[in-house]
Amino acid sequence: MSDQNKSLDPRIARLELPQGESIVKPDEYWGTFEVFLQEKRGKFHQHVGSVHAPDQEIALVFAKEQYARRGKCVNMWVVKTTDIFAFPLADEDMFTTTPDKQHREAGMYKVRDRIQAYQEREKKI
């Protein structure tokens, strides 16, 4: 930039701004880690997003800066994204019948009617 010294900004006017192109190389920003945050002791860690980092320790530092600037947090996990193994989203139909499995639910088991019928029957005798 030829007129760099004309910047209104004193801090920028002092920089030696680069001339020409800048190119970022592939992989320069590393891989990603998934971040899990625990809001309170006793609660589950929950997925909150991801960070780019060169290793797990730096990932934790970036995770704290990125996801724990505000609000409650007592602990964080980071996991390499490639280490997470998940069902394909397209397979979500395998869960669709789950809500129909009433035999697994407490609400399915109702015997009050039967008890009442029994008691009425017994009284008659």
Partner 1 sequence: MYGGGFIPDENPKKQTEAVAEDPALLAEFQARIDRGEKIEPHDWMPAMYRKQLIRMIEQHAHSEIIGALPEGTWITRAPGFRRKMALIAKVQDEIGHGHLLYTAAETLGKPREQMINDLLSGKSKYSNVFNYPAVTWADVTVIGFLIDAAAIVNQLANSKGSYGPYCRALERICAEEAFHLKQGHDAFVYLATGTPQQHEMLQAAVNRWYKPIIHFFGPSDKESVHSEQLMRWKVKMASNDDMRNQFLDMYVPKVREVGIDFPDPNLKKDPETGKWNFSDPDWDEFYEVIKGNGPCNAERLAVRKWAEEKGRWVRQALATPYTKSTVPLA
Q: Which is nearer to partner 1, 85 or 109 (CB)?
A: 85
Structure tokens at 20: 């020409």
Q: Closest approach of Cβ 46 to partner 1, in Å?
A: 12
Site string for partner 1, 99-118 (x = CB under 8 A): --------------------
DSSP 47-74: EEEEEEESSHHHHHHHHHHHH-SSS--S
Q: Which is nearer to partner 1, 58 or 60 (CB)?
A: 58
Burial class (CB in 10 A: 0-12, 13-18, 19+), 105: exposed
**What angle (nearest 5°) sits at the alpha carbon of residue 45, between those of residues 39 and 46?**
90
Q: Does 84 bind partner 1 (CB under 8 A)?
A: yes
Find tokens 């669709």 and name the residue.
96
Q: What residues numbered 13-72 form the site for partner 1, per CB under 8 A?
A: 15-18, 21-32, 34, 47, 49-52, 54-55, 58, 65-66, 69-70
Helix, strand, or coil here: 83?
Answer: helix
Residues engaged in binding partner 1 (CB under 8 A): 1, 4, 7-9, 11-12, 15-18, 21-32, 34, 47, 49-52, 54-55, 58, 65-66, 69-70, 80-82, 84, 86, 88-90
